[in-house]
Amino acid sequence: MPFSENVHPWQTSHPILASDRRLREDLGVTPDQPDPDDALRETVEWLWAHRGEILAGEGR
């Protein structure tokens, strides 16, 4: 089955496993930064404000 087909099992979003060591050690970001509630709120507000642009690119 070609990868370009929509039914291909890998044709989806996948979680990314990565280390946050650089954020913690090099940039000094502590575990409570950013606040998860604030980050989620800001993300939802940005998505809502840009929903037209996002939906316009839906068929890509």
pLDDT in tens, 25-49: 887 777 777 777 888 889 899 999 9
Strand stretches in the chain, DSSP E:
none
Q: Where are the alpha helices (DSSP H) in the chain?
A: 21-25, 36-49, 51-56
Specify the pLDDT at position 49. Answer: 96
Name the nearest CA neighbour of 42 among 30, 50, 53. Answer: 50
Domain ranges of the chain: 33-60
Note the pLDDT tens digit of each residue in 11-25: 666 677 778 787 778
User: What is the per-residue pLDDT for 45?
Assistant: 94
